[in-house]
Amino acid sequence: MVSEDVPLDHRVHARIIGARGKAIRKIMDEFKVDIRFPQSGAPDPNCVTVTGLPENVEEAIDHILNLEEEYVSPWWAGPSGRPLALTGTSRGWP
């Protein structure tokens, strides 16, 4: 068993945990790991700890980092990553 600390933007913690912890339990079951989020007021609110077998920990970390990227990316961006209003159309749609 190994434990790894992962920097994960605290703004996405609630979304990754999900309603009543349903989403995080699904991730922990899928990857067979334990994931712990920092307590309120922790010195580093972005530090998440993932514990399990080395391969499972790495796969779980990859998964939650992908979720973080998806949740933090601007919802208003088009496929190019640029804001839709700047894509050259008058209504802001691609």
47 lies in which domain range?
2-72
Residue 8 forms part of a structural domain = yes
Closest CA relative to residue 6, chosen from 43, 57, 61, 71: 61
Residue 9 forms part of a structural domain = yes
In sequence order, what are the residues at sequence separation of 6 or more whose Cβ sits closer than 8 angstroms to the Cβ of residue 68?
8, 9, 12, 16
Residue 52's Cα: distance from chain center in Å?
18
Residue 34 forms part of a structural domain = yes
Number of domains composing the chain: 1
Residue 87 pLDDT grade (very low, low, confident, very high; cuts 50, 70, 90): very low
Residue 77 forms part of a structural domain = no
In sequence order, what are the residues at sequence separation of 6 or more whose Cβ sits closer than 8 angstroms to the Cβ of residue 23?
15, 16, 17
Q: What are the pLDDT digits (tens) for 26-76?
A: 999 999 999 999 998 999 999 999 999 999 999 999 999 999 988 887 555
pLDDT of residue 83: 53
Higher pLDDT, 4 or 92: 4
Residue 11 forms part of a structural domain = yes
Return the CATH number at 59: 3.30.1370.10
Residue 82 forms part of a structural domain = no
Write down the residue that tokens 């496929």 correspond to.
Answer: 79
Residue 93 forms part of a structural domain = no
pTM beyond 0.85: no
